[in-house]
Amino acid sequence: MSSSTCHWWCLGVVSAMVILTSLILGFAFSPYHFHPRVDSAVLAALDISNPPPKSTNALRYNLSVNLGFRNSYRHLKFRYLDVTTTAFYGSDDFMLAFPDSSSFPTPFSQGPKNTTVLKAAFEGTVAVYPSVASELERERAAGMVHVKVRVSVKLRIKSWGIDRPVHRYTYDCWLWFQPPSDAAAAVFDAGTRCWPVK
């Protein structure tokens, strides 16, 4: 085998290995390998307030959440095409959703071994069923209220210079707070991982 032939043969083998590795990394990537985190959160209000017109109960809420997105891979780049968040209060029987009032700077890119922190904000007053008001009263009396934040991510992964198909993942982040008051907000600083929604 001549040196020229060997050169092209070796180059072809190396190229094939790079492409194969890229495909394996790209298609093997799953939501279980990528977990957003809640680094911290502040619950300034979660209580029954003066009801809006034609309602017997109203829930006042004010929640801010710092979400961390970590790319822990050495050879993958992430391109976030869309990030949305929604907060929920209540049991599965009467789950109440709060839309996010913040605007994330999407799209944005994230290099290897990098962390990006986004802040989600939820504030407002919504009419609720009496069962939701009762559930909140029970939790406040017990000294702990629970809130779920759902994170939906649409991203494209680039490995070894090759763009992979767009991925769409949804995660739930469970938070717990001492009941806030008008005098003092409740702080969640334990940090928690968000888990894929099945």
pLDDT tens sequence across 153-191: 998 888 777 777 888 999 999 999 999 998 899 999 989
Q: Which helix (H) or strand (E) holds 134?
A: helix 130-142
C-alpha gyration radius of the chain: 23
Preceding peptide of 107 cis, ω within 30°? yes
Average pLDDT over residues 14-38: 63
Task: Flag whether 18 is in a domain.
Answer: no
The bridge status of strand 37-48 relative to strand 186-188 is antiparallel
Task: Flag whether 186 is in a domain.
Answer: yes
pLDDT at 30: 54
The two three-digit tokens of residue 125, written as one number: 């007053």
The bridge status of strand 195-196 relative to strand 96-99 is unpaired
Q: Which residues of 18-39 are buried (b: 16+ CB within 10 A; e: fewer)?
A: eeeebeebbeebebeebbbbbb
Q: Which residues pair with 42 in a beta bridge?
A: 64, 187
* Domain encompassing residue 134: 31-196
Provide the pLDDT confidence category of residue 38 given band limits of 50, 70 and 90.
very high
The bridge status of strand 192-193 relative to strand 195-196 is unpaired
pLDDT at 149: 94
Task: Flag whether 174 is in a domain.
Answer: yes
Structural domain count, the chain: 1
Q: Which helix (H) or strand (E) holds 21?
A: helix 3-28
Task: Flag whether 142 is in a domain.
Answer: yes
How far is it, in rounded angstroms, from Cα 168 to Cα 152? 7
Task: Flag whether 23 is in a domain.
Answer: no
The bridge status of strand 96-99 relative to strand 76-89 is antiparallel
Q: Which one is predicted more confidently, 173 or 9?
A: 173
pLDDT at 11: 62
14 by Cβ neighbours in 10 Å (0-12 / 13-18 / 19+) ranks as exposed
Task: Flag whether 15 is in a domain.
Answer: no
Task: Flag whether 24 is in a domain.
Answer: no
pTM above 0.75, yes or no: yes
Does 34 score more than 60 pLDDT? yes
pLDDT at 10: 63
Task: Flag whether 6 is in a domain.
Answer: no
Give the start-end residues of each E strand in 137-197.
145-159, 162-177, 186-188, 192-193, 195-196
